[in-house]
Amino acid sequence: MTGWTAVLAACALCFALKLGGHLLPERFLSGERVSRVAALVTVALLAALVAVQTLGGGQGSGLGQALAVDARVPALAVAAVALLLRAPFMLVVVLAAGTAAALRATGAVA
Amino acid sequence: MRVSDRGPTLRQSVSVGVATGAYGVSFGALAVAAGLTVPQACALSLLMFTGGSQFAFVGVLGAGGSPVAAVATAGLLGVRNGLYGLQMAPLLAAHGPRRLAAAHLTIDESTAVGTAQPTPALRRLGFWATGLAVFALWNATTLAGAVVGDALGDPRRWGLDAAAAAAFLGLLWPRLREGRARAVAAGAVVVAAALTPVAPAGLPVLAAAAVAVVLGWRHGPSRTSRPGVMTQDRS
């Protein structure tokens, strides 16, 4: 699948999901279970993405990539503190980037 | 409806629109850092237009995941947009091209602001105003971020990989209100981290979704999550 194919396929899929919700009769998903599971799937996906983005080794060798603890970990800790202190989203992201960049600039951390 | 009645709703819509639109810059930069071209980054904001799915898509690609895994992950995160549509459709009563537009603009923010208004007319106004404001600003800032990101060189030097992790954490944070969500998040982290060394990139994330289905299927006390997770909760 080329880059553009993936981009357009993902866009089409997301639009189909949005439109599907508008077209379905309201009683179709009346169960509390479905909305509960959907909410939890979102939580799981986001949490997993945090884990992989923070600890993934980057370049894989085909099957799997080693876990790597580097400047991303303290950067994420800074982000978590900022979120606890109710900082705005943009500031949280900037603080994390700045932390990692600063640590890497010292040359002591990867 | 008097013009003065619309004031608070419009102010909410605009402020949410500005706040959400502003961090389109980080999406544009992250998309380019993940290997997408500027037109591809812009296409995502134009045609996908839902932050969680967009960040997930570029996140999976940036971590070396397959395009199929990226598409699937973006789709899984897009399920909640469908649930928002279920909620908004009877309220908006849109038909034909307007319904297509309403569907495209059905995101966390437009649903959150819309449903928070006190009357049906203001709910419709809140939905449309927020959706349009976010759409305009999100796309403009995505372009800016993508163009700047292209000129930056090695994204790690600027900490952009850490920025992506922080972006996902920021999107996740408002959802960690109740115990079951936190348990699912913890389980997802463990599953994803454990599978990363042994499974092709992208698969650990999808496996974590399966954990959520298993944990969520059984009955138990739970609150359904509130919308509004493209940015932090503003309550």
CA angle (B13 as vertex; B224, B51 as ends), nearest 5? 55
Q: Coil, helix or strand for A56?
A: strand
Residue A63 has a pLDDT of 58
Banded model confidence at residue A42, pLDDT cuts 50, 70, 90: confident
Residue B157 has a pLDDT of 82
Residue B220 has pLDDT above 80, yes or no: no
Instruction: Please give the average per-residue pLDDT across A88-95, as a whole number.
Output: 86
Residue B161 has a pLDDT of 80
Q: Residue A43: name the closest of B185, B79, B177, B216 by CA.
A: B185
Residue A58 has a pLDDT of 54
In the stretch 27-66 of chain A, residues with CB closer than 8 A to chain B read 28-29, 32-60, 62-66
Q: Residue B216: name the closest of B187, B174, B177 by CA.
A: B187
Question: pLDDT tens, B152-202?
Answer: 667 788 887 888 788 888 878 988 998 889 999 999 999 999 998 888 766
Q: Is B165 close to A76, i.e. CB distance below 8 A? A: yes
- Give the pair of three-digit tokens for residue A1: 């699948």
Distance (Å, whole) CA A81 – CA A98:
14
**Between the CA of residue B14 and those of B17, B22, B127, B140, what are the distances in Å?**
5, 12, 11, 15
Q: Which chain A residue shows the shortest CA-CA distance from B196?
A: A64
Rounded to two decimals, the pTM is 0.74
Query: Residue for token digits 């629109």?
Result: B17
Cα of B201 to nearest chain A Cα, Å: 6
* Higher pLDDT, residue B181 or B233: B181
Q: Coil, helix or strand for B81?
A: helix
Residue A76 has a pLDDT of 96
Q: Which of left, alpha, beta for A56 (phi over 0: left; psi -120 to 50: alpha)?
A: beta
